[in-house]
Structure 1
């Protein structure tokens, strides 16, 4: 098996996790897929022979790609309200059925995206990686170029 085939297999093994990080960071399926594509390109161009934790390396790369996208959005004042991947809030039904729970979860997801949109890109990255994926602040700090104590803030 060639090195590129090995890397492709490793990337595919981690694709679900990487897409989840990108989707939560960017709030758009299309943007998340673009971030994954950029992550693959960076992986395929990099010498990973010294990488001890490929999953961590890939998470760092996709996080930095998302951070760049968020910073670009902010500098261009982009708002992706017309994005078809963005969920519309649904009105919850007054029952305790599973479908009611799913509708409620969808509306909470949209509210979470609205809150995330108010955060600065580095804050958003720290929140998503720590609170949603359990990445320690000590590992997030180098990604956002801040001290661990500042990252916690």
Structure 2
């Protein structure tokens, strides 16, 4: 395999590798670092021994992501306030024309799923991602992770049960989600508490992620009254140079607030039975960088 062919093979698989790494780590920058490390392994490998380049690259990327995830957990890294995964742009135009494929993509990178995945062990997370998001057979996952197939099946079952038990049910069509998001934005920016309360579920929760680098609640807020009052208060604060636009991230519509043209705040909503059951606010500037770059980390149909 020539160097040019090796580059072409890697670039063809880059979106898949980025998708695996992002779901494993929940961090765009970390995912791209892992994929870069995978490229270094690939470029320096004896490729004459590689019969299936795609499988080889997925195996290398998964193991690198596992190592990084284990390092993070073993260090017990402190994070100021609640933690949310980095937003992942998923507005890929017509690259995912099939409704079923788009629904699968939206679910596998949804904020709700990624938050639950954080509670899995690194190995459970790897098995879940490869099996549920990418449909790898158990035998192939066992080969990728150097584990026996019975052990992989056990890990997959345990991970699936854990996710199903804890994952909120956000079953809503895109058009309804868009309408609710527009109404939410209008009520919040007008400080319309009654309007907000009409949209919020009684047990709604608000999670604000700033990493200690911007203003946001340092604890989760619960109940429609508390969440509504908070949103009405911040919505009416002075906002010179502020603007907003609707974008698609993590498979659903979201509101990006811009300050002097730079990403300042991202609002993502969880919707259950026609009501807003979760409000996710990302304000950590490090996590909003990818939205400023204006490019998706990978194509939807390859993720």
CA deviation after TM superposition for structure 1 residue 139, in Å: 1.5
Corresponding residue for residue 143 of structure 1? 144
Q: TM-score, normalised by structure 2?
A: 0.41
Corresponding residue for residue 4 of structure 2? 5
* Mapping of residues 4-153 of structure 1, within 5 Å: 4-78=3-77, 85-86=86-87, 109-153=110-154
CA deviation after TM superposition for structure 1 residue 114, in Å: 1.4
CA distance in 2, matches of 1:142, 1:79: 34
Higher RCO (C-alpha 8 Å, min separation 6):
2
CA deviation after TM superposition for structure 1 residue 17, in Å: 0.9
3-state DSSP of counterpart to 1:119 = coil
How many residues of Structure 1 are paired with residues of Structure 2 in the alignment? 135
More strand by percentage? 2
Cα distance, 1:82–1:116 mapped onto 2, change above 3 Å: closer
Q: Deviations over 1:3-55 (max 9, x none)?
A: 22211111011111111111111111101100100000000110011211101
Q: Which runs of 5+ in 2 are unaligned?
A: 89-102, 155-303
Q: Deviations over 1:101-131 (max 9, x none)?
A: x9xx58x811111111111101100000011
CA distance in 1, matches of 2:136, 2:38: 19
Cα distance, 1:114–1:82 mapped onto 2, change above 3 Å: closer
More helix by percentage? 1
Kept after mapping to 2: 8 A contact 1:29/1:85: yes
The alignment's C-alpha RMSD in Å is 2.4
Kept after mapping to 2: 8 A contact 1:22/1:36: yes
CA distance in 2, matches of 1:84, 1:75: 19
Q: TM-score, normalised by structure 1?
A: 0.79
Kept after mapping to 1: 8 A contact 2:84/2:115: no
CA distance in 1, matches of 2:62, 2:78: 20
Cα distance, 1:52–1:127 mapped onto 2, change above 3 Å: same
Q: Pick the structure with greater CA Rg.
A: 2
CA distance in 1, matches of 2:18, 2:43: 18
Cα distance, 1:44–1:128 mapped onto 2, change above 3 Å: same
Q: Which runs of 5+ in 1 are unaligned?
A: 88-101
Cα distance, 1:84–1:57 mapped onto 2, change above 3 Å: closer
CA distance in 1, matches of 2:87, 2:78: 12
CA deviation after TM superposition for structure 1 residue 83, in Å: 7.2
